[in-house]
Amino acid sequence: MASLQPVRGTHDLLFEDMRRHHAVIERAKGIAGLYGFEEVITPIFEFTEVFTRTIGETSDIVSKEMYAFERSGDQLCLRPEGTAGVCRAFVSNGLQQQVPFKAFYAGPMFRYERPQKGRQRQFHQIGVELIGADTPKADVEVLVLASHILDALGLKGQVTLELNTLGDTASRAAYRDRLVEFLTPYRNDLSDDSKVRLDKNPLRILDSKDEGDRRLIAEAPKMEESLNAESRAFFETVQAGLTAHGISYVVNPKLVRGLDYYCHTAFEFVTTALGAQGTVLAGGRYDGLIEAMGGPSTPGVGWAGGIERLALLLADVPGKARPIAVIPMGDAAEGEADAITGRLRRAGYAVDLAYSGNMKKRMKRANTVNARVAVILGEDELKQGAAAVRDLDSGEQVLVPLAALETDLARFR
């Protein structure tokens, strides 16, 4: 029994879960298409270097969460996120000539973490990448698209957009230095977690939940003060763009993305409905990423959303199609039932035809599969070249000539 359990942190997607999952992907893909984003699928495993060179050796994702393995001397790993793979594909396929490149993707990601609600070891993301545009208009477009998709999923009012800027590379580096300089004398006052952060990723200390850390941070220099004029103007343009689109947001100066390659715009759509996993969709600008992985210096901006988290919040769950139940009575009617079933399916109707059973059993089955209507083929009906069409909701039953069946059933569509 234990060996027939799914691997920890993995889940089967069945029935309603699958319908929710699928609805998130299809709606997102459809809307992304309106903005010119075309779907791409990249491999779910890559050379490990694709991630270590972009996400950052010291990040938790690379240092402890990757599913890495070796095969024939190649160092490979299951992708922990989507951006690096799409950027690799951009370079591999020589798309520098076709910028801006707009990609939408959906698929599984893998991180070796302790599972929780809304957090799994194999999880799924939708995401978009807009590569080759350095204008803040691109940031705005990608944010408007995200907001549009969240609205379509019925999450309006349930999520808040938090926004921040990390500034350009120079501003970010300057701020990082100032922060480290300020905090280092207080190293021993920091929480244990933050002592580590001070060396690995000092900006994350801004995000700490520890009370002592928060008091120190309140006194620390602000990111805003380290922004150069260009970075400041960039951020202002992004904010003006959002306002022009009627998208509300809050600036959160402590918002820091975990991955190293972000600059300028950083954002998260958050909810309070999922416990500790409040982030439902997040992203930002990553101008240095493609160069870091060995490609030509190319700007980019994008985001990823957790499908499981979005599916948990999905407002309207799509139902399963209600089929037509075809019910033959007696061996003579079996052949006719097969033929009618085939015809109706090719005409686009969902049809359920039981493999065996007397009429009562088949009627019961019609009920359990939530059939909308039953097409009953009995001796009496067939003699007249007709079928009994029974509305299973109202119980009303009429005789319909076989030739008129397809058109008559249209009233149940």
Partner RNA sequence: GCGGGUGUAGCUCAGUUGGUUAGAGCAUCUGGUUGUGGUCCAGAGGGUCGUCGGUUCGAAUCCGAUCACUCGCCCCA
Which residue numbers belong to the known binding site for L-histidine? 81-83, 111, 125, 129, 257, 261-262
Check binding of 115 to RNA (CB under 7 A): yes
Check binding of 20 to RNA (CB under 7 A): no
Q: How many CB atoms lie within 10 A of CB 191?
A: 17
78 vs 366, beta carbon nearer RNA = 366
One-letter amino acid for residue 360 of the chain:
K
Beta carbon of residue 220, minimum distance to RNA (angstroms, whole number): 16
The residues that bridge with 153 in the sheet, in sequence order, are none
Residue 329 contacts residue 359 (beta carbons within 8 Å):
yes
Beta carbon of residue 58, minimum distance to RNA (angstroms, whole number): 10
Residue 375 contacts residue 386 (beta carbons within 8 Å):
no
Residue 115 contacts residue 11 (beta carbons within 8 Å):
no
Residue of 48, 59, 171, 341 interacting with RNA (CB under 7 A)? 59
Distance CA 71, CA 370 (A): 49
Beta carbon of residue 122, minimum distance to RNA (angstroms, whole number): 9
Distance CA 203, CA 262 (A): 12
One-letter amino acid for residue 203 of the chain:
L
Check binding of 314 to RNA (CB under 7 A): no
Check binding of 105 to RNA (CB under 7 A): no
Q: Known binding site: residues?
A: 81-83, 111, 125, 129, 257, 261-262
Phi, psi of 395 (to 5 degrees): 85, 0
Question: 3-class DSSP state for residue 392?
Answer: coil
Residue 26 parent element (H or E): helix 15-34
Check binding of 378 to RNA (CB under 7 A): yes
Q: How distant, in Å, are the alpha carbons of 246, 356, 366 from that of 255? A: 22, 61, 54
One-letter amino acid for residue 381 of the chain:
E
Distance CA 302, CA 316 (A): 27
Check binding of 356 to RNA (CB under 7 A): no
In the region spanning residues 124 to 143, those forming contacts with RNA, defined by CB under 7 A, are 125
Check binding of 363 to RNA (CB under 7 A): yes
Check binding of 193 to RNA (CB under 7 A): yes
Q: How many CB atoms lie within 10 A of CB 230?
A: 13
Check binding of 113 to RNA (CB under 7 A): yes
In the region spanning residues 197 to 226, those forming contacts with RNA, defined by CB under 7 A, are 197, 204, 207-210
188 vs 394, beta carbon nearer RNA = 394
Residue of 1, 4, 34, 229 interacting with RNA (CB under 7 A)? 1
29 vs 232, beta carbon nearer RNA = 29
Distance CA 219, CA 40 (A): 46
Choose the binding region for RNA from 14-22, 146-154, 251-259, 337-345 (rule: CB under 7 A): 251-259
Beta carbon of residue 184, minimum distance to RNA (angstroms, whole number): 18
Residue 227 contacts residue 235 (beta carbons within 8 Å):
yes
Residue of 41, 117, 318, 410 interacting with RNA (CB under 7 A)? 117
Torsion of CA 362, 349, 18, 41, to 10 degrees: 150
123 vs 234, beta carbon nearer RNA = 123
Beta carbon of residue 116, minimum distance to RNA (angstroms, whole number): 4
Beta carbon of residue 72, minimum distance to RNA (angstroms, whole number): 28
Q: How many residues bind RNA (CB under 7 A)?
A: 68
The pairing of strands 263-270 and 74-78 is: unpaired
Check binding of 92 to RNA (CB under 7 A): no
Question: 3-class DSSP state for residue 348?
Answer: coil
The pairing of strands 263-270 and 250-251 is: unpaired
Residue of 202, 305, 323, 328 interacting with RNA (CB under 7 A)? 305
225 vs 365, beta carbon nearer RNA = 365
Beta carbon of residue 158, minimum distance to RNA (angstroms, whole number): 14
What is the C-alpha R_g of the chain? 28
Q: Which residues of the shown chain bind RNA in the complex (CB under 7 A)? A: 1-2, 5-6, 8-9, 59-61, 65, 81, 111, 113-120, 123, 125, 193, 197, 204, 207-210, 257-259, 268, 275-282, 304-306, 308-309, 329, 358-361, 363-364, 366-368, 374, 376, 378-381, 388, 390, 392-393, 395, 397
